[in-house]
Structure 1
Amino acid sequence: MYQRSDFIFMKKLAKKMVTRFFSVNSEDLISKIKKENYKVVSFDIFDTLVKRNVNDSRDIFLLLEQEYVSFFKKEKPISKMREDAEAKVDIDSADLNIIYDTINELDDEEKAWLKEKEISLELQLCQQNKQLKRVFNWCKNNGKKILIISDMYLRKDVIEKILIASGYSNWDSLYISCEYKARKATGNLFDIVKEKEQLEVNEWLHIGDAQIGDFLAPKKKGINAFLIKINEWNTDYYSRNYLIKEREMKRYEYNILNSFIKNNESRSYNYYERLGYEVVGPILYGYSKWLQSKSEELGVKKLFFLAREGAFLKEAFEIVSDSSVDSTLIKVSRKATSTPLLYKAESMNELLRMINKTRKNFTVKDLLDSCNIEDIDRKAILNNVELSAESNIDELTDEQIGDLFTASRYAINNNSKKQEEYIRGYLSNLGFNGSVGVCDVGWNGTIQNNLQRIFANTSIIGFYIGKKNKIKDTIKSKSEAFLFDDTKNLDIKNNIMSSPDIFELFFLSTDGTTIKYERREENFYSVQALPDQSLDNAKEIIKLQSAALKFVSDFKAFTNNFNTDLTPECCGVAYNKFINPPSLYTVKMFKRFSFLNVGTHSMVAEHSLFYYIFNPKGFVEEFLNNGSKSLFLRSVFKISLPYVDIIDFLRKFDRG
């Protein structure tokens, strides 16, 4: 005998087959309407003209339950009650009042509140289906008679509000099942429409997503019908596992976020733009909202965004901010803020720590570059110590290290003190005093610590996307982090720190890094290096950032009507999907990018697995020096492996 599970499986299979063979791509609707020259076009509403910013229409009931608990301060299974009530009524004639009248476990006050709240949630969460709006507009502009027909329990006036709020107007007639006590699914509502509008079925086209109500039923009546897919489009970095996990926690931020992206992302976006809108945008928005709240909580009225990443962060913050906090971009870098302090170094080890020497194969040239030593001085230094510029610092004897430190100290100190004067002048002119916040992507807080040493009388608080506490500093700078630190959201931390270079690349300005400061009369200026990326690569990063800012702007507009705060975990879901593990297509798309960090290196492996089998030392050196290790390993081994976990395990062997 057949089991109920077999019946459900066959029903789902049948639905899939109907959708596969009979559905029409929304992009093709206009051409098909043109071809047949229909005089009347009718549209379904929900999942056709209008999309909800939730994964499933029943999620409205889950949100309703959440709102109920918050307002009435008591627990009741509102979602189940609401679903059960709808199943009990005569769906042909039921409206919202009839549905709630069947719920005996609620009093009149609760029912009235829930009805109004459900309508409010529908209005807040519904939006225009951009693809069908284009079809609707074409029909209107080409003289088609436009009808809107829906099997729905909401009153006609509520439906009209939803349609108008979603950008629709000037339709000819609106038919709602609860108003006429007849449904599309039975075909009866189509009969009523035909009679009232005096229609010829061969001139009439109906468009909708329901297989029975919008396709089979009208077809049975001789009406032309186009079936569209409910989920014709999804995000590239959607995580069903996180959606399920979130539902179990009775939270819905990711549910709303992913649905919003699916409903609003441009289908013309290229790979980098999709990455910006889906992955970077939510992090940017969440950070900006958190920054506004956190700076107010800590009483910080002046925020300084640290270029290069800070330029992008500042743009996003100014979209989200209520303007109660001043925001200023300052051009700084690890190098430009460490150089003014180098004269305080008493040994080579202290000097190397101050310039943040973290990678293998750090040469004498790298040292002199990091200290901003002029060409004329470095020649004298190299002649004095009789070392090659390419000599590896880690391979020098203690005597050679001592000689190098002594020979270079005068030039380092002279340049360092001059840069200390200049950076103080540069930042003082921008109002860097009192109690201030510095904003950056983050990690170790090196620039903040450097600035605190230079500006000892200024109270500096760091506001970062993420931070690590690896650096032990005598300056106890206060800092906060949105996404992760060493004690919270360690999964997000491991995912990002498996390839920090690629994460930072998303936020980088296309300008070069700040290398030093100069003085001209009484004015102080920052000096920038040449850009790291080629012009073509820079264009793609600009597109990515533009799409991310578009998300911030779009989601800000959405939250003006529906207040929802994105948790750090929710904001990081898409990035986790992107990097753990990275796809081979991602490897391909970032193969041409490089990153400048103690020498320019590719983000992916420079050789094949076959090459590394016979050159294991080369593999180890490239791996340790690469700041995008997940991409590096995927580009070598090709197969999908838990690279983030592998990197986390291997990190203990990387003394850098």
Structure 2
Amino acid sequence: MFTDVRLREVWSHLESGGAQALTLDVFDTLLWRMVPEPTHAFVLLGHRLADAGHLPPSVSPGEFARLRVHAEHVARLHAHDTRGTHEVRLDEIWQVLAPALPGTAGVQDLIDAEVAVERELCRADLAVVELAELAMTKLGLPVYLLSDTYFSASQLERLLNRPELSGVPFTRIFTSSDAGTSKSDGLFQHMLAASNLQPSRVVHLGDHPVADVEGAREHGLVAIHYPKYAGSLRQTLDLEGLRNQPGDDVPIDPVDGDFGMTALRARTLHRADALAVPAGLRRYWETGATVFGPVFAGFAEWAVERARDFGADHIYCLMREGDFLSRLLVDPGEDVGVSVSTMWASRQVCALSNVFEGSPQELKSFLVRRHAPSVGQLLRQLGVRLEHVAGISALADRRLDVPGLLDDTLEELCSDERIRSEIVLTATRLRERYVRYLDSQLPETGRVVFLDLGWGGTIQALLTRLLASTGRKLDILGLYLATNQAAMSHRLAGMELEGYVASGGQPETMANQLMRSPEVLEQLCMPDVGSLVSFDEMSNPVLSIDRTSRTQVAQRAAVQDGILAFQREWLRYRRSETPMPSLASAGARRAGLRMLTRFVARPTAAEAAAFGSWAHDDNFGSDATEGLLPPELVRRMPYLTPADIDRISMRELYWPAGVAGVANRPLAVISGLAAAAGVPPEEVSPEAAAGPVEVYVDTGADFVNGVKETALTRSARDGLSLVRLSVEAVGARRIRIDPAGRRGLLRLDWLTLSFHINNIAEPYKVTITSLDDPAQQLALVGLRLLQPNLVEILGDDPQFVYTIDLATQPHLAGVYALEVEMAFGWMGIRGDALILPAAGPARDGLPVRAARKIRRELGGLR
């Protein structure tokens, strides 16, 4: 009967036939506010008074809110001193507050303003309203209201005077301010006496575990708890800064508060479908409902409103993400007369379809992707057989991000007329098939709206160019959850594209954090199919193999279900007689960006562990997938500082904050807070006292004449450091690493040399964890070995020297680059000689404490 499972027990008691009446708490039960905390309403009241000229210029809305809180506290203390109760009336609070606001309106006008703001912020809990209506109409029971509040019964009637409650004639309202006693003390007794009810036959529902549950039961009532929060929502709100004390920096809108997002997130977690989620998927469903739900519900509402304003009555959601996004748009679209469908598009297909001449410029646009492909991958996607390109066939496994290789490859392809013609023929064949598909989807003229998850607008730009080549006269608007700075070049070219939470990389601080790791957003929107790679002869989409694990598929579905559950709850209130404020407003969009940025930049350990297990596909004609939290990166986290995190490229690691959230929580928190505050990561990353690390390469003319690179070292938690740098190493014969420029003790946890070799895709790695193994070809200069991985630095020029043995390592003759990674701990020591104590005789037998423990367990010693 009830979608909110909290009310089923109440109804069971009422329907049993023994109930004489139903009593309801008011705030956070019958009514809820569009602010995270009740006192946040005072901030909005402060803005209202300031706009009306009723605040002194020296008092900000946030300061007023604190004054209002303090005035209530003082009034309650005075009431206790004078009449033995902490219960006060609103006029008593304002009598205390008025001297702080000289020259403003009269006290009664200020009281009326507060009641008016409260009424605008309050919404009736539709589930509780339904319960009250059924109790009255079906069971014939009276319904009483009880509230611990400074509002009088008549003031509460003003808050309750709303369309949703017009059919619910409450029998009577009892307030602590009128009665002079709270629910915990005597308000229940006062109500029972005034109503002539038997306590055991009265069912009370309220949110406060003490006042509403313990207080009611102490007076003999049947009490049912109506808890506000469930799951990890309280922690989420804390991290979003929404449960802070009222002030100017509380992240709420000055008019619409939090748009009801806090209350509706809480209510979504109590829906019946929430309890039906298996325990193993609960974390994903809850995150969908409480983190992503408000954002995507707002995105859908904004998108259909923007389409309608644009003059379009249909939105084309681009696949693959469009499969899920279209489901979000259906209901809000019906409300404004905008229909929705999906349409296949991908960067690979759109890019190749835009190759008309096979010029280097056209092919470079084909390479706009996160990870550079190998030469062989590029040739396969262009439809060129590897053996037909003799000049570069030997480089098939080389990635095109090797300096100079991309230009050389494109020159080789485009200078050969036969190969260039083959590329153009492949592109023409695909273009004809794709255009036939687009003919079946799009009109010839008019206004068209494309919708996608977003980022740079590349697909829209390619589609616009392709459609223009067919003679279509279309005005195209692209709508996205977010767009980055790359979208600005398309705007300058005349394209229309907009982002919901971020547009063109603005607002910059939060948008940069979100755009650093958008992969979780991409994955949670995916359907259970691979990416679009081509079209067949009948213009049907040809998809790659979907290699997503069954576990991730189930987890993703749970996230999507949670998002849709929140949207259903939101639409329920949006369509009510007192509608919610639009999530298309600037304040709601900013709130959505804060939610996403918090999750991406400062995930909890549980969130990072749950979503970090997901794999992400490259989505450009490649079957490759990578985990969001690679194990080798998890191992590095204790050695890193925020500056080190900032330098990790997207190619190497999708979600740095997620890895840190699992392996180094303090690092995750510091990095996230610094980024949110706009503090450069170097400011919170102290330099290591050991000094810089230097790497030299000897190519046959000694180190003095070879390549040298220097890396600044920074000190992480527990004094650990990690250095990573790359050097040119063509013809390398010896590698020298100078680990520190000061005397001290150095513990080497690992030293990895990654040799990049011509015609070999992956680097050849040598990892050293012990310094006393002669087989590792590592010599120590200026160092004294104390333990296998512990050395004493004897002077200011210590050296690790690795010698390449071409007799046993002939493949290293083709080295062209080297990457060095060294993880270590360092501690400075005095300049005098380090004397190690001689080892004493070994002790036989158990330690005394262990022996005594065993004797106690055997009963031999008490």
Q: TM-score range by the shorter chain?
A: 0.7 to 0.9
**2:394 aligns with one of 387, 394, 406:** 387
Aligned to 2:266: 262
**Residues 201, 223 of structure 1: 8 Å contact kept:** yes
For 2:503 and 2:366, the matched residues in 1 are separated by 22
- Residue 329 (structure 2) pairs with residue 329 (structure 1): no
Q: List gaps (5 residues or longer) in structure 2.
A: 1-5, 640-646, 683-724, 727-862
Greater CA deviation, 89-98 or 243-252?
89-98
Identical positions, percent: 14
Is the contact between residue 480 and residue 500 of structure 2 (CA under 8 Å) also seen in structure 1? yes
Output aligned runs, 1:125-204, within 5 Å. Answer: 125-127=123-125, 149-151=146-148, 153-155=152-154, 158=157, 165=164, 174-177=172-175, 181=179, 183-185=181-183, 187-195=185-193
- SS of match in other structure, 1:344: coil
Does 2:32 align with 1:52?
A: yes
Cα offset for 1:446?
Answer: 0.8
Q: Please say if residues 207 and 225 of structure 1, whose CA atoms lie closer than 8 Å, have aligned partners that are also in contact.
A: yes
Judge conservation of contact 2:229–2:266 (CA < 8 Å) in 1. no
- Please give the alpha-carbon distance, in whole angstroms, between the structure 1 residues aligned to 2:38 and 2:493: 53
Please state how far the C-alpha of 1:185 moved relative to its aligned partner.
4.5
TM-score by length of 2: 0.58
| 8 Å contact from structure 1 (residues 304, 438) kept in 2 | yes
Residue type of the partner of 1:332?
A: A
Q: Residue in 2 aligned with 1:576?
A: 597
For residues 5-44 of structure 1, what are the structure 2 equivalents within 5 Å?
A: 43-44=23-24
Q: Is the 8 A contact 2:318 2:344 kept in 1?
A: yes
RMSD: 5.2
* Greater RCO (Cα-Cα under 8 Å, separation 6 or more): 1
* Structure 1 residue 135: Cα displacement: 13
1:170 and 1:38, CA in 2 relative to 1: closer, same or farther beyond 3 A? farther
Shift of 1:220: 7.2
Q: 1:398 to 1:436 in 2, by over 3 A?
A: closer
The Cα shift of 1:208 comes to 4.7
Paired position in structure 1 for 2:412: 403
Equivalence for 2:254: 250
CA contact (8 A) 1:382 1:388 kept: no
Q: Shift of residue 337 of structure 1?
A: 0.8
Match of 1:517 among 509, 525, 535: 535
Whichever residue aligns with residue 588 of structure 2, its letter is T
**CA–CA separation in structure 1 for the residues paired with 2:225 and 2:407:** 78
* Contact map agreement 1:507 1:545 (CA 8 A) in 2: yes
- Give the Cα separation in 1 of the matches to 2:557 and 2:515: 23
1:246 partner SS: coil
Cα deviation, 1:219-243, whole Å, max 9, x if unaligned, reads 7767787888666663442146643
Question: Amino acid of the residue matched to residue 262 of structure 2?
Answer: N
Pair 381,633 (structure 1): closer, same or farther in 2 beyond 3 Å: farther
SS across alignment from 2:258:
helix
Pairing partner for 2:522 from 499, 504, 509: 504
Q: CA deviation at 1:577?
A: 2.2
Q: CA deviation at 1:572?
A: 1.8
- Which residue matches 1:626? 653
Q: TM-score, normalised by structure 1?
A: 0.74
Aligned partners of 2:455, 2:331: CA distance in 1, in Å? 25
Task: Write the distance in 2 (CA, Å) between the matches of 1:195 and 1:621.
Answer: 70
2:476 equivalent to 1:468: no
Are the structure 2 counterparts of residues 299 and 52 from structure 1 closer, same or farther at C-alpha, using a change threshold of 3 Å?
same
Q: Give yes or no for contact 1:305–1:438 (8 Å, CA) kept in 2.
A: yes
Secondary structure in structure 2 of the residue aligned to 1:409? helix
Classify 1:319/1:109 alpha carbon distance in 2 versus 1 (closer, same or farther; 3 Å).
farther
Aligned with 1:426 (options 437, 443, 457):
437
Q: Note if contact 1:288-1:316 (Cα within 8 Å) is conserved in structure 2.
A: yes
Q: Report the alpha carbon displacement of residue 482 of structure 1 after superposing the two structures with TM.
A: 2.0
Cα drift, residue 415 of structure 1: 1.5
Where 1:283 maps in the other structure, the secondary structure is helix
SS at match of 1:574: helix
Q: 1:201 to 1:470 in 2, by over 3 A?
A: closer
Secondary structure of the structure 2 residue equivalent to 1:253: coil
Q: What is the match of residue 491 of structure 1?
A: 509
Q: Distance in 1 between matches of 2:638 and 2:225?
A: 54
In structure 2, do the counterparts of structure 1 residues 134 and 626 end up closer, same or farther at CA, with 3 Å as the change threshold? farther
Match of 2:616?
A: 595
1:367 is matched with: 378
Letter in 2 for 1:546: D
1:114-133 alignment runs, 5 A limit: 114=113, 117=116, 120-121=119-120, 124-127=122-125
Is contact 2:315–2:449 with CA below 8 Å preserved after alignment?
A: yes
Q: Which has the higher helix share?
A: 1
The C-alpha deviation readout for 1:398-432, integer Å capped at 9, x for no partner, is 66653344364233211111222222222222326
- CA deviation map 1:5-25 (0-9, x unaligned): xxxxxxxxxxxxxxxxxxxxx
Between 1:623-632 and 1:202-211, the stretch displaced more is 202-211
- Give the letter aligned to residue 377 of structure 2: D
Cα deviation, residue 301, structure 1? 4.7
- In the comparison of the two structures, how many residue pairs are matched? 610
Other-structure match for 1:544 = 559
Matched, 1:287 2:316: no
- Secondary structure in structure 2 of the residue aligned to 1:578: helix
